[in-house]
């Protein structure tokens, strides 16, 4: 995962342009992502797809012809969506277009100007203080022209069409920033590759789209299919050293909210769970009132709560292979729990069935202890009245979900349990 982050890191991405296409092309080696192009000017609810932005080079030359600021050294140096420029500037006019972080003098900030025609450079404050010539030559060799917005989508079909879909979304619009958001697009690609190798009940829809405008465009183009989305996660910032943070869906009590809380209690007890707010990443769009999709957000330290956020310090050293791997493990555990969680009906609800006669106490092995197995059978039988799902039974019994799932499987095999049909 870290190698893939490193390969994607140098690419200059934005909300449109060749950097996004190149990124999807690389991710396609891991997952068969279908690439969609939506022309500039296309309306999507209250928004319009902007012109496409591409950049070849950008620099500020001092009087000796040296690059005082050089896009080739870091793509963060140019404000994303800067209009093309080719002019000589007095230093004080140039400084009106420069952004730095005086309290972090060696870090380059990350800035964008998507919807306002502007140009600018970002640089380390220490370098800004070295700009002492009277004039500089400024060049931004970029284009901002009709083109398209690019996003990627990959669907891994499940075995039960009526079960619906799980949406996993990550944004792909940031240039050389590792945690926000290379970590999440790489996690998503690895989850997809893992899911392709196992049988699934749900279908999984992976969305790789530029932040805000990308999810809005996707929602506008898929409005008639949104009813199929039963659960969803926005993945973001999953490689830093912080504990997990899960932000609940707008509904607050969706199945995905319950599943993530359960998995976190079991595998990441230092995780923080926070309520929905209409601010953050693309959960803002998925959870807008007309859609109110059951989509939460999973990440580690939330954006803007770590100083490296949106600066050159969010680099490849800021994300670790261990944290990326741990994020993959926990997300797959969430998916396994979603897959296994269903409602059932006890076919023998008048008193307990005779479990010993059916050999049920011995039917469940593995590394689950005998007591958990027996208790699991009794709890599943007692609460499977069609209204409790297995997760609710796991929580009420304080047994691990895996023990409850194994108990349910053994009862199904003995015709003591039947699933409630998916609605
Ligand atoms: Zn960001």
Distance between CA atoms of 295 and 135, rounded to whole angstroms?
52
Output the CA 271–ligand 1 centroid distance in Å: 21
Q: Which two tokens stand for residue 344?
A: 């059932």
Q: Which two tokens stand for residue 109?
A: 């900030």
* 369 pLDDT above the threshold of 80: no
Output the CA 315–ligand 1 centroid distance in Å: 13
Output the CA 310–ligand 1 centroid distance in Å: 6
Output the CA 273–ligand 1 centroid distance in Å: 21
Range with lowest mean pLDDT among 93-107, 252-266, 409-423? 409-423
Mean pLDDT of 204-214: 98
- Helices 370-383 and 401-413 pack at an angle, to 10 degrees, of 70
Output the CA 176–ligand 1 centroid distance in Å: 11
pLDDT-derived band at 363, boundaries 50, 70, 90 = low
pTM exceeding the 0.75 threshold for the entire prediction = yes
Output the CA 304–ligand 1 centroid distance in Å: 9
pLDDT of amino acid 365? 58
pLDDT of amino acid 29? 97
pLDDT of amino acid 322? 98
Distance between CA atoms of 368 and 90, rounded to whole angstroms?
73
Output the CA 173–ligand 1 centroid distance in Å: 8
Q: Ligand 1 is a single-atom ion; what residues have CB below 5 A from it? A: 180
């Amino acid at each position: 995962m870290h190698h893939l982050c490193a390969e994607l890191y140098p690419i200059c991405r934005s909300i449109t342009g060749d950097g996004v296409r190149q990124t999807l092309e690389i991710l396609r080696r891991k997952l068969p992502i279908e690439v969609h192009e939506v022309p500039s000017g296309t309306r999507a609810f209250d928004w319009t797809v902007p012109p496409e932005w591409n950049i070849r080079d950008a620099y500020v030359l001092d009087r000796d012809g040296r690059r005082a600021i050089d896009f080739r050294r870091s793509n963060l140096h140019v404000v994303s969506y800067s209009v093309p420029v080719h002019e000589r500037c007095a230093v004080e006019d140039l400084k009106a277009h420069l952004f730095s972080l005086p309290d972090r003098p060696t870090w380059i900030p990350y800035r964008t100007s998507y919807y306002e025609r502007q140009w600018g450079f970002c640089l380390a404050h220490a370098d800004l203080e070295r700009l002492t010539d009277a004039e500089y030559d400024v060049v931004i060799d970029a284009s901002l022209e009709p083109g398209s917005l690019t996003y990627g989508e990959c669907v891994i079909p499940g075995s039960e069409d009526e079960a619906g879909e799980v949406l996993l979304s990550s944004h792909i619009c940031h240039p050389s920033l590792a945690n926000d958001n290379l970590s999440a697009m790489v996690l998503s690609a690895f989850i997809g590759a893992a899911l392709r190798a196992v049988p699934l009940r749900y279908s999984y829809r992976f969305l790789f789209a530029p932040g805000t405008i990308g999810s809005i465009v996707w929602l506008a183009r898929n409005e008639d299919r949104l009813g199929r989305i039963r659960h969803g996660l926005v993945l973001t910032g999953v490689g830093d050293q912080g504990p997990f943070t899960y932000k609940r869906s707008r509904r607050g009590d969706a199945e995905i909210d319950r599943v993530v809380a359960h998995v976190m209690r079991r595998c990441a007890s230092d995780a923080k769970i926070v309520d929905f707010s209409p601010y953050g990443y693309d959960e803002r769009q998925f959870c807008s009132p007309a859609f109110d999709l059951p989509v939460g957000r999973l990440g580690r330290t939330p954006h803007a709560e770590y100083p490296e956020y949106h600066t050159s310090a969010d680099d490849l050293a800021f994300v670790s292979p261990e944290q990326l791997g741990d994020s993959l493990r926990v997300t797959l555990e969430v998916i396994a729990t979603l897959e296994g969680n269903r409602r059932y009906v006890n076919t023998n609800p008048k008193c307990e069935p005779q479990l010993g006669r059916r050999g049920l106490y011995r039917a469940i092995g593995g590394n689950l202890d005998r007591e958990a197995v027996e208790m699991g059978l009794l709890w599943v039988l007692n609460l499977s009245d069609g209204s409790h799902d297995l997760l609710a039974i796991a929580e009420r019994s304080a047994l691990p979900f895996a023990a409850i799932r194994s108990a349910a499987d053994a009862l199904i095999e003995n015709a003591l349990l039947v699933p409630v049909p998916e609605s």
